[in-house]
Amino acid sequence: MPTTEEVLHGLEAFKKHVTDYENSFRKRNKLPKNFDYRPYRWCSRDIVFSLLVVKHNRKGNFLEVDVCLIANPPQYVENSGAKVALGFLLSESYKCGGSMEIVFTSNVEGGRVPAYICDLAIEMGVKLKHVFEGHITPFEARQLYLGLAGFSQTAKEKIMKMAVDKLISPERVCFLIMGGVWSLSEAESIILGSRHPERLLQSASDPEDRHLYLNDLRVAGSAILGGVLDRKLLRTELFEGGQIVESEDEESPLAIDFDSVYFAKIYHADTELMIPWIDENKMLSAGQRMVVLVRARSDGEIQKYFLNDLGSLKKLIAKYRKDATTMVFYLVPRDFEDVSLAFQTQIISQLKKEGVYLMLAPDSMTSLDKEAIRRLETGRRTRQ
């Protein structure tokens, strides 16, 4: 761990950088370039995780880190400060267009890779070969980035295969997640559930390529619909000041898996959860499994493809209902309400016959398509 003297030295260096930034940029109403030193403070409410000062070194084509102070707050999981700091450093290195090499100056613990980052690397099974020289190689950065993103082993293997085939870089996939374009579960749905995930993750198809673009839009919409359900289930609400507020830091303990054959989400709860968007008051008990067939369909598509979806539901039941407590759901947008009443009744009747619950998301296909377009356009502006 850093000594008291190293921490105090880092704080003084950070204060100086903040003063220089104020004088050079904020007071002049200017924005810094990537090759200018930029100070960052990463916090959650009143808890500081990390203080960082970085710039892109144009001559060496690496990210130069002049201050890297990391805290390990006891209120959070182990190495949370290191995860925040390293996630930012890797994403900033990618955004700046560098080689992904990260170099720490002598202001950082005497010129070595910070101890907390080394601990995190050990935790992820990544060996850093140049700790005391103060730099992380591009190869090590890739391993750390994939580890931080949190991909399942199946998704990680698919990403590496795409990289070997020169379809997409692992760094871009990680950046899209760390940058908030896609959540981890949404990205895994795309990677495992699409025939050409690289095209969607690179925003490679144009609206002029009508069939390709519409296909990508539909896969993206399905991933987003599943992500909406993820966030609803993960959300933790607290009672503060006489009001119910959503917690910024806490999430419900929930494991999320994905069945790529049927584009279905599988949830395992560690605590009791209320199941949203169904007619009945149902709880997901601790240790119970919930399987959700995700279908982002318009009202016309629901009517056209319901028999196909019913076939998929029957196969899911055969696959997952060996455990009798497993619940199966059919998730569609609220466009279902525009389906004729006679067909709605028919669908609900057939679902009940199979023991499947209808789950109606509050989102419409129009809103899902708009969000999918926004994310594809955001990806288009991101480094390839």
pLDDT tens digits, 69-94: 999 999 888 999 999 999 999 999 99
Specify the CATH number for the domain of residue 321: 3.40.1350
Count CB atoms within 10 A of the CB of residue 240.
9
Q: Do 115 and 244 have their domain in common?
A: no
Q: Do 144 and 16 have their domain in common?
A: yes
Residue 222 domain-assigned (yes or no): no
Average pLDDT over residues 117-133: 97
- Please provide the DSSP assignment of 258-321 as one string: EETTTTEEEEEESS-EEPPSSSS--EE-TT-EEEEEE----HHHHHHHHHHHHHHHHHHHHHHT
Q: Do 26 and 140 have their domain in common?
A: yes
Residue 288 domain-assigned (yes or no): yes
Q: What share of the chain in percent tops pLDDT 70?
A: 96
Q: What is the pLDDT of residue 44?
A: 87
Lay out the sheet containing 135-136: strands in order across: 38-44, 47-57, 62-70, 102-104, 135-136
- Dig out the tokens for 239 from the structure: 């009672």
Specify the CATH number for the domain of residue 128: 3.40.630
Q: In terms of residue numbers, what domain contains 341?
A: 228-364
What's the count of helices (H) and strands (E) in the chain, helices before strands?
12, 14
Residue 312 domain-assigned (yes or no): yes
Q: 3-class secondary structure for 154-189?
A: HHHHHHHHHHHCCCCCHHHHHHHHHCCCCCHHHHHH
Q: What is the pLDDT of residue 245?
A: 58
* pTM > 0.85: yes
Sole residue written with tokens 């990390």: 50
Q: What is the pLDDT of residue 238?
A: 55
Sole residue written with tokens 């539909």: 218
Domain limit, last residue, from 149, 165, 189: 149
The pLDDT tens digits for 315-353 are 999 999 988 899 999 999 999 999 999 999 999 999 999
Q: What is the pLDDT of residue 382?
A: 87
Residue 198 domain-assigned (yes or no): no
Q: Do 129 and 237 have their domain in common?
A: no
The pair phi, psi for residue 271, each rounded to 5°, is -135, 165
Residue 184 domain-assigned (yes or no): no
Residue 193 domain-assigned (yes or no): no
Q: Do 133 and 238 have their domain in common?
A: no
Is there a contact between 34 and 50 (Cβ–Cβ < 8 Å)? no
- Dig out the tokens for 23 from the structure: 């004088």
> Which residues neighbour 223 within 8 Å (Cβ) at sequence distance 6 or greater?
182, 186, 187, 189, 190, 193
3-class SS at 84? helix
Is there a contact between 48 and 40 (Cβ–Cβ < 8 Å)? no
Q: Do 254 and 132 have their domain in common?
A: no
The pLDDT tens digits for 10-60 are 999 999 999 999 999 999 999 999 999 999 999 988 899 999 999 999 999
What's the domain count of the chain? 2
Q: Do 126 and 240 have their domain in common?
A: no
Among the ranges given (77-91, 162-176, 181-195, 238-252), the one the predictor scored with the smallest mean pLDDT: 238-252
Residue 179 domain-assigned (yes or no): no
Strands 38-44 and 47-57: antiparallel
Domain limit, last residue, from 149, 169, 197: 149
Is there a contact between 53 and 21 (Cβ–Cβ < 8 Å)? no
Strand partners, 359: 331
Residue 32 domain-assigned (yes or no): yes
Q: Answer whether residue 246 shows pLDDT above 80.
A: no
Q: Do 37 and 129 have their domain in common?
A: yes
